[in-house]
Amino acid sequence: MRQIADEIVAIAKAKGVHLSGNIMDKQFQMIESQSYNTTSSLQRDMKEGKPSELEAQTGTIVKMGLELGIPTPINAFIYTCLLPQEKRARSPLTPKGRI
- The yes-or-no verdict on residue 35 having pLDDT over 70 is yes
Mean pLDDT (whole number) for 5-20: 95
Rounded Cα distance between 80 and 74, Å, is: 10
Average pLDDT over residues 40-56: 92
Count of C-beta atoms within a 10 Å radius of residue 66 = 12
pLDDT score recorded for residue 95: 56
Main-chain dihedrals φ then ψ at residue 18, nearest 5 degrees: -85, 125
pLDDT above 90 as % of the chain: 77
Is 99 a member of any domain?
no
Q: Is 45 within the bounds of a domain?
A: yes
Q: Say if 96 falls within a structural domain.
A: no
Range of the domain at 16: 2-90
Please tell me whether the overall predicted TM-score, pTM, comes out greater than 0.85 for this model.
no
Q: How many domains does the chain have?
A: 1
14 Cβ contact list (under 8 Å, min separation 6): 64, 68, 70
Do 9 and 61 touch, CB atoms closer than 8 A?
no
Exposure on the CB side of residue 31, measured as CA atoms within 13 A: 11
Q: What is the CATH number of the domain that holds 7?
A: 1.10.1040.10
Establish if 26 belongs to a structural domain. yes
